Amino acid sequence: MAKQLSREQGITLRGSAEIVAEFFSYGINSILYQRGIYPSETFTRVQKYGLTLLVTTDPELKNYLNNVVEQLKDWLYKCLVQRLVVVISSIESSEVLERWQFDIECDRSAKDDGAPRERSQKAIQDEIRSVIRQITASVTFLPLLETTCAFDLLIYTDKDLAVPEKWEESGPQFIANSEEVRLRSFTTTIHKVSSMVAYRIPFLD
Amino acid sequence: MSQEWNEWELSKENVQPLRKGRVMSTLQEALAQQETSSHTAIQQQKQEFESEIRFYSGDDPLDVWNRYIKWTEQTFPQGGKESNLSALLERAVKTLNEQQRYYQDPRYLSLWLKFGNYCSEPLDLYNYLHSQEIGTSLALFYVTWAEALEARGSYKKADLIFQEGLLRKAEPLDKLQSHHRQFQARVSRQTLQSLEEDDDELEESNLGASEPQRSSLAELKGKGKKKVKAPISRVGDALKRKFTSQRVSNCPGFAVFDENSVVTAGAELPVLTPQPWAAPPATRAKENELKALDMISLLPFYPRSSTDSGAILQSVLPGFTPYVEESAQQQIMTPCKIEPSINHVLSARKPGKEEDPLQRVQNNQQDAQEKKEQPMYCKEKVYAGVEEFSLEEIRAEIYRKKAKKRREEELQAIAQKKTEIQRKFEEMEKVVKEKQDVQCQQSYGQVISKVNHLHTESSFVYISLLIELLLESAVKQFQKSVNLIYLLVMEGALIFVIYRGTDQKWQVNLKICLNLFAGELKWHVCVKLIFLSLSFPAGHTQTGARRPLAIRKPSDSLTAKENLPPESCDELNGIEPLTEDPIVTGSYKNKTLCPNPEDTCDFVRAAHLASTPFHGIVEQRAQLPTDPEEALKEEFSESKSTSLSQQTPISEGTYNEALCIKKLSPIMEASQEDTSSSGSSASSVSSLTQISTMKYLQISEKLELAQSPPDEIAIATEDNAEQRKELLYPLPELLTTCPDFCLETSSVPLIELGKEIDLGNETYCIKQECWISDDYKIFFAVQVNFAQVDSKGFAIKVFSQPVPWDFYITLQLQDRLNTEFDQNFSENCSCILYRDGCVVLHREINHFTLWDIIQHCKTIPQEVIVLVVHNLLDVVLKLHKAEIILGDLRPEVLFLGDRICDSFANADLTSALKIVDFSHSLDMKLQPRVTSLNSFPVAQTQYGQQMLAECSLPYQVDLIGIADIVHLMLFREHLQVYQEGSQWKIKQCLSNPTDGDLWSQFFEKILNADGKSTVPLLMELREKLNGMFDSSFPERLCDCLTSLEELFKLEDIF
């Protein structure tokens, strides 16, 4: 896919889906690392988007994420996804502590005409980079996760979509009394991803 | 992606992460403020916290500190010097240290733990907390401690801490347990990993072995010596951990491991056997002690010196000494900011000088224990927070607090009083319902409704009004039931007294009255007091009524009076005399009528005011030829005609004397019948003398008032009314012979909005209240049994004095103007003179007033303004020609004429207004010498006060009135003027280019007419306006009027 894009001939729907899925792969990894969901020893450094990112080396997690991303890519290509949410909840109390929400807007017209869009790969990468940077920088305001946490991935799709195997339907898992912070967004002109993080209001304790 | 919500990202490095996270809005705000450097809001908030700390009166001072610290954390994201968080935490833990009850409070513990982050050696702090039993029952304490130890690689110790926590069942236990489990998992993983990587590590560490070792040795030796090494100070936990883990892994062969284990072993001791931390740490105490010794040794004769020093010496020797740098010096922490200009050279911080805040806290405690000196000022308040408060600030705060409390108390008292009054009225209402017929209830209901209406203020006016209302209704009901009056007035007294009761002086009085009231037998005494105090008019009924009412008790109460316990009389006599100086010297003259609780004279005067209508009644009665006591009237006129200079001193004398004799209630002092009632019974005193005394008093009062400054409105108008009464007595033939004039012996019927009333032979329905003032009301009414053809109706004016002044002026105008008496005036009016008032009925009046236009039109069309002003000038011109001054021009009572209201009106018809209200008018033929203009309402307005000089001609008043009306129509607000040179100008700017010129000229002329005759000026102004009436004017006006009509239809009440 990198080759495809490097040809600088514009963005196709498939290419866009791949870029977005890739972003999610790295983005989720970043969140898992930054928020300490998995021990930091289980991560390894890779260079991506001109940044040093950390991706998991845990084989199970890797496998899980790959599955999800593959499924996501398919849906992105079909323009069926509306939102992806990373829910971080305490293992002990199963209380939702953090909620990373990525809203995806699909330009369905791209599905029909199939004509590639004019947008340089670099511009998209820059945008993605700033989103990931923000994820990293969010420690400035996010509360410390003091208990061991687990994460869940929620994907909002069109209603009529059949739930695939190994997936199940879920509630939105909102946080009551949450503080919400909008993060940057990026667009491939076909998919627009805007991100947001919600966490418990610090003063309510 | 707007910039504003990404601001935090730009300074993410400058934001300290918090355990609890940050509120984004606060963070953004703080960062934005930091840029603009507008710290005022923050400073203010900080100041609030600071003062709250000092003046907190609740039982949880920790809460204030907690909030303050949380706020500081959120507001100063960078932390740093500005936030002063470390000092703040230090102060907080220090201050609250005395409060044992907080020791197991998680909030207090979290303060300590936060404070620990600012200590150079948090482990010492944990030890200290442990020894002091602070937070030892809380899981958080052990978790934090263990984490700190873990970060340093002391896994064993960390585990020990966890064990102890579990042993002590620290709450919440499950949290502690889970942390412990995680800790164990981490440790085992770490060990496993390190074993795996052992070989690589060994190689690596072999390469760089010398360096870490050396640096750690260097640190032990002291940083100051090796300056090159000093900057390599390892701060981060990760580094430390790495460092220690390396050491741990490398340990077997090296001496460092030994040392580490030794430290571990040593530090285990305090965990298990807490050290006596109460002992002062070495350095500071040593210095202190040395000094003390010196001083003591200088005074060998001092007997206690040796024991003292010995005690100190003993206490200074601690069982455990925290590690302290030798070079450490005491640094006195001053919260004041150092001027950056002085301190502009950056110098390297000498690490040795840095003092551990923990130590300071401990020292402080020791100091507190040893403290012998006692500050003779509120030191704890001055230094309570982080900032230093000045004594003035503290005083101001205390004052503010007191004032607030006082205010609250007052409000509460008022509320209480209100409910009490309410209750009383309810009771009264019940009684009235039981006892009285329908009419009685009606009038009573009015009183109550009025009182309810007024219940917002417990002011003086309120009370005097209340009394007035009560008396009014009492008079009305008098002939029907004597009992009721007593009750009513008694209630009045009660209220009166309760009101004054807040004032300390009058407390006794209140008690007596309440006592009296409580004992049913004695109530008449109360009644008597009140009748005396309110100068109840002597006569209501035809015969024998001139005796004070107090004696007219129900037959059965005669005995009751004798049964009065003597002590209550004594009590009455025992009341301390009030300051009567102001009354004697007449110093109250310069005061307005606003309530002044200190000034008893206000109170006294209000009693006069409250009873004013009854003076009128007395006089009127005297004037009536049917009055059997015409002789009395003669007496009056005689005393009036005799020179006042002779009479006054005498009457004043009696007045003062009366005041001196009577030391009863303040109400008593106001009495005009003091002399007569000073005995237990007033019946022996002849009614004649009483009344004449009263009259003298009135005269003397009037004399005072004649010299009174302008703000005594009420009295000025009263003066005016008196004058009119004199002028219209006997009723001029002009009036009595007029077919539209009629004399009634009854009192004025009650006229209320929405009610129907009978006047003459017709029944009218009151549709609207046009104007309500103290002594007159103007209503708009329609005839009940009459089909309404147009919007015309009746204007009914009710005057509370039995003086048909309006009607008189109207008749005079008719007479003087002859043919010029046109539609601008009410051609068709009649007057009914009642015993206690006067009603004037104007027929064929349009429903709307100028006020309706001003209120409902956003901008009044220029044509309408021109028309109205032209007409107004015309009317005033006519009046002035007839030597009558209108005195008061109000849009509310300027009814619109046919020219505006009637759409079919003839174009050459000029009457745009109809003048019906002559309440404040003056007949210059009759009253050529007007002493002051203060009786005019204009004189009470700001512009009036500015513009009316002492010497102004009364005609001037009307000019200002016109100017105000024009101003109102142009700008929808009252006239505002200022003086430029000798010229008066309006503050508003005339923006309209076409007419602006016209109006600015108009104002220039009309405002600067002082001294000139008004007639030519008015003519000139009218001529100027004539210029506006060009050929297209009627057409334009017609358009405007149709739009006005639309407006009126919308709000038409018919």
What's the gap in Å between the CA of A41 and the closest CA on chain B? Answer: 10
Question: Quick one: pLDDT band at residue A43, thresholds 50, 70, 90?
Answer: very high
Q: Which residue of A has its CA nearest to B78?
A: A140
CB count in 10 Å sphere of residue B385: 26
Q: Do A203 and B174 touch (CB under 8 A)?
A: no
Residue B90 pLDDT > 50: yes
Q: Do B174 and A92 touch (CB under 8 A)?
A: yes
> For residue B496, what pLDDT is reported?
42
pLDDT in tens, B143-171: 888 988 888 888 888 899 899 998 888 88
Burial (CB < 10 A; 0-12, 13-18, 19+), residue B942, is: exposed
Q: Do B174 and A146 touch (CB under 8 A)?
A: no
> For residue B554, what pLDDT is reported?
41
Q: HEC string of B578-598?
A: CCCHHHHHCHHHHCCCCCCCC
What's the gap in Å between the CA of A99 and the closest CA on chain B? Answer: 14
Which DSSP helix (H) or strand (E) runs through B600? helix B600-610
Residue B238 pLDDT > 60: no
Select the residue from B12, B25, B110 to test the A interface by mutation, using most A Cβ atoms within 10 A: B12
B351-355, B805-809, B1003-1007, B1020-1024: range with lowest mean pLDDT: B351-355
pLDDT in tens, B372-417: 677 777 777 777 777 787 888 888 888 888 899 999 999 999 999 8
B178 neighbourhood in chain A, CB within 8 Å: 92, 147-148
Q: Could you say which of A140, A182, A205 has the minimum Cβ distance to residue B17?
A: A140
CA–CA dist A103, A95 (Å, integer): 23
CA–CA dist B427, B424 (Å, integer): 5
B56-60, B657-661, B739-743, B1035-1039: range with lowest mean pLDDT: B657-661
A148 neighbourhood in chain B, CB within 8 Å: 178, 182
A59-68, A76-85, A171-180: range with lowest mean pLDDT: A171-180
> For residue B786, what pLDDT is reported?
66
Residue A95 pLDDT > 70: yes
CB count in 10 Å sphere of residue B563: 11
What's the gap in Å between the CA of B15 and the closest CA on chain A? Answer: 6
pLDDT in tens, B243-256: 444 444 444 444 45
Cβ of residue B342 closer than 8 Å to a chain A Cβ = no
Cβ of residue B58 closer than 8 Å to a chain A Cβ = no
Question: Quick one: pLDDT band at residue B192, thresholds 50, 70, 90?
Answer: confident
Compare B363 and B415 and report the one with higher pLDDT.
B415
Compare B118 and B528 and report the one with higher pLDDT.
B118
Select the residue from A58, A97, A129, A141 to test the B interface by mutation, using most B Cβ atoms within 10 A: A141
Catalytic residue among B105, B124, B888, B958: B888
Half-sphere exposure of B885 (CA within 13 A, CB side): 28
B189 neighbourhood in chain A, CB within 8 Å: 39, 41
Those residues whose C-beta lies under 8 Å from the C-beta of residue B806, and which sit 6 or more positions away, are B797, B799, B831, B838, B840, B916, B917, B918, B919, B921
CA–CA dist B300, B289 (Å, integer): 17
B12 neighbourhood in chain A, CB within 8 Å: 137, 140
Q: Which residue of B has its CA nearest to A137?
A: B12
> For residue B800, what pLDDT is reported?
81
Residue B175 pLDDT > 60: yes
Residue B63 designated active-site: no
> For residue B213, what pLDDT is reported?
44
Cβ of residue B188 closer than 8 Å to a chain A Cβ = no
> For residue B871, what pLDDT is reported?
84
Question: B225: which DSSP letter?
Answer: T
Specify whether the backbone of B807 is left (phi greater than 0), alpha (psi in -120 to 50) or beta. alpha
Compare A60 and B922 and report the one with higher pLDDT.
A60
> For residue A26, what pLDDT is reported?
93
Burial (CB < 10 A; 0-12, 13-18, 19+), residue B373, is: exposed
> For residue A24, what pLDDT is reported?
92
Which among B274-283, B454-463, B984-993 has the top mean pLDDT? Answer: B984-993
Mean pLDDT, residues B780-799 = 74
Q: Which residue of B has its CA nearest to A146?
A: B19
First to last CA, chain B: 60
pLDDT in tens, B708-745: 444 444 445 556 677 777 777 777 777 777 778 888 77
Mean pLDDT, residues B355-369 = 68
Specify whether the backbone of B65 is left (phi greater than 0), alpha (psi in -120 to 50) or beta. alpha
φ, ψ for residue B865, nearest 5 deg: -60, -45
Interface of chain A toward chain B, CB-CB under 8 angstroms: 39, 41, 92, 133-134, 137, 139-144, 146-148, 179-182, 184-185, 199-203, 205
Q: Which residue of A has its CA nearest to B175?
A: A147
User: In chain B, pLDDT over 90 holds for what percent of residues?
Assistant: 1
Compare B336 and B403 and report the one with higher pLDDT.
B403
A147 neighbourhood in chain B, CB within 8 Å: 175, 178
Residue B962 pLDDT > 60: yes
What's the gap in Å between the CA of A202 and the closest CA on chain B? Answer: 5
Those residues whose C-beta lies under 8 Å from the C-beta of residue B288, and which sit 6 or more positions away, are none
pLDDT in tens, B254-308: 445 444 444 443 334 344 444 444 433 333 334 444 444 455 555 555 444 444 4
B167-171, B844-848, B1049-1053: range with lowest mean pLDDT: B1049-1053
Question: Quick one: pLDDT band at residue A60, thresholds 50, 70, 90?
Answer: very high
- And the tokens for A113? 């005409």
CA–CA dist A21, A66 (Å, integer): 10
Mean pLDDT, residues B2-24 = 74
A76-85, B12-21, B350-359, B491-500: range with lowest mean pLDDT: B491-500
Q: Among B76, B77, B73, B52, which Cα is nearest to B63's?
A: B52
> For residue B438, what pLDDT is reported?
55
B5 neighbourhood in chain A, CB within 8 Å: 181-182
Question: Quick one: pLDDT band at residue B642, thresholds 50, 70, 90?
Answer: very low
Q: Which residue of B has its CA nearest to A197?
A: B24
Q: Do B178 and A92 touch (CB under 8 A)?
A: yes
> For residue A54, what pLDDT is reported?
92
Residue B359 pLDDT > 80: no
What's the gap in Å between the CA of B8 and the closest CA on chain A? Answer: 8
Residue B214 pLDDT > 60: no
Secondary structure percentages of chain B, helix, strand, coil, to 5: 60, 5, 35
Question: Quick one: pLDDT band at residue A85, thresholds 50, 70, 90?
Answer: very high
> For residue B906, what pLDDT is reported?
61
What's the gap in Å between the CA of A143 and the closest CA on chain B? Answer: 3
A135 neighbourhood in chain B, CB within 8 Å: none
Q: Which residue of B has its CA nearest to A205?
A: B20
Q: Do A185 and B1 touch (CB under 8 A)?
A: yes
> For residue B543, what pLDDT is reported?
36
In the block, residue with structure tokens 């089909």: B787
Cβ of residue B843 closer than 8 Å to a chain A Cβ = no
> For residue B711, what pLDDT is reported?
42
Cβ of residue B3 closer than 8 Å to a chain A Cβ = no
Q: Do B21 and A185 touch (CB under 8 A)?
A: no
Q: Write the DSSP string, B855-903.
A: HH-SS--HHHHHHHHHHHHHHHHHHHHTTEE-----GGGEEE-HHHH-T
Point out which residues pair with B1007 in neighbouring strands. Answer: none
> For residue B813, what pLDDT is reported?
83
CA–CA dist B328, B348 (Å, integer): 16
- And the tokens for B199? 């070989």
Residue B122 pLDDT > 70: yes
> For residue A56, what pLDDT is reported?
92
B264-278, B287-301, B353-367, B775-789: range with lowest mean pLDDT: B264-278
Q: What is the mean pLDDT of chain B?
A: 65
φ, ψ for residue B404, nearest 5 deg: -65, -45
